[in-house]
Amino acid sequence: MKSDLGTGFFELRGKQTIMDHQLVNDYISELFARQDQALIQAREDSPRRGLPAISIQPEEGRFLQLLVRLCGTKLALEIGTLGGYSGIWIARGLVEGGKLITLERETLHAEVAREHFALAGVMDQVDLRIGDAQAWLPRLKAEGPFDFVFIDADKPGYPAYFAWALENTRLGGVIAAHNALRGGKVAEAGEHDENTRIIRSLNLQAADDPRLISTIHPGGDGMLVAVKIA
C-alpha cells in the first residue's frame, strides 16, 4: 500500500515536470477565452492593417477581464490601445455604466481600434484619446481615481506609468502591466538589454512596495498584477 502511494507520487511529479505549457495554455484558452467575431477580427485584422502583431493573447485578455470585474471597475485606463483587442476585453469586464479611457499615440492604430470597438459593440464604454501617454497622464489626474490601470506601451515609459498609476488608483484598485516576463529574459542572468533591465527593475519595485500586493501571472508574456492596499 505504502509503496503504491510512493509510486503514484513520483509518477505525478514526473508528469508535472514535463507539463507542456503551450498545450495547457491552449486548453485554458479554449475553455475560458472564447472569442466572438469582433475579438477574432481585432486580433487578426490589426497586423493585416499594418499594425504590429503584438496584441495580448486571448487567455491574457480573459485574465484582464476577470481582474477588471473582480475589483468592480467603473473607471479603467489603458495605456497602449493598438488595434483595440485588449480594450475590448477590458470594456467587457466593466460594471454597468463603467468606462474605459484608452491612450494611443499613433493615429492609424487609433483609427483601426475605433472600428474594432464599434464591431464589438463597446463604443459607448470606450473613450479613445490620441496622443502621447506622457502628455495625457498629468491631465488625466483630474478624472481619477481609477479602479483599474493596464499598462502596455513603450517599455522606457513603464516606470513613470506605474508610478502614476499607483498615485491615481483607488485603494483596492488594480494595476496590471504587460510583458513582465519579456519572453523569459527577465529570469535569464545574462540578459542585459535596456528594456529587460527596465522591466526587471519595475518587477522588483512592485514586489517590494508595501503599498501593494503584487505578483506576475505567467500566462502569455507575463502580467505584472498589483492591488493597492495602502
Question: Rule CB under 6 A: is residue 105 a binding residue for ligand SAH?
Answer: yes
Crossing angle (nearest 10°) for helices 37-48 and 58-70: 130
Task: Give the H or E element holding residue 174.
Answer: strand 169-178
Nearest to 58 by CA among 25, 99, 16: 25
Judge whether 100 and 126 are in contact, CB under 8 Å: yes
C-alpha cell at position 20: 507542456
The binder of ligand SAH chosen from 11, 132, 167, 193 (CB under 6 A): 132
Q: Name 225's Cβ contacts closer than 8 Å, sequence gap at least 6.
A: 67, 174, 175, 176, 214, 215, 216, 217
Query: Which of 153, 166, 174, 180 is close enough to bind ligand SAH by CB under 6 A?
Result: 153
C-alpha to C-alpha distance for 17 and 167, rounded to whole angstroms:
41
Q: Would you give the binding string for Mg ion spanning residues 168-197, x where CB under 5 A is met?
A: ----------xx------------------
Query: Residue 225 has which C-alpha cell?
Result: 498584477
Region near ligand SAH per CB under 6 A, out of 29-37, 119-127, 129-137, 218-226: 129-137
Q: Is 186 in the site for ligand SAH (CB under 6 A)?
A: no
162 to 121, 183, 205: CA distances (angstroms): 30, 20, 10
Query: What minimum distance in Å lies between the beta carbon of 166 and ligand SAH?
Result: 18
* Torsion sign, CA atoms 208, 213, 218, 220: negative
152 binding Mg ion? (CB under 5 A) = yes
Residue 225 interacts with ligand SAH (CB under 6 A): yes or no:
no
Q: Choose the binding region for ligand SAH from 105-113, 115-123, 187-195, 207-215 (rule: CB under 6 A).
A: 105-113
158 binds ligand SAH (CB under 6 A): no
- The verdict on 81 binding Mg ion (CB under 5 A) reads no
Which range of residues in 13-21, 23-31, 51-59, 69-77 is near ligand SAH by CB under 6 A? 51-59
Binding residues (CB under 6 A) for ligand SAH: these are 54-56, 80-82, 85-86, 103-106, 109, 132-134, 152-154, 157
Binding residues (CB under 5 A) for Mg ion: these are 152, 178-179
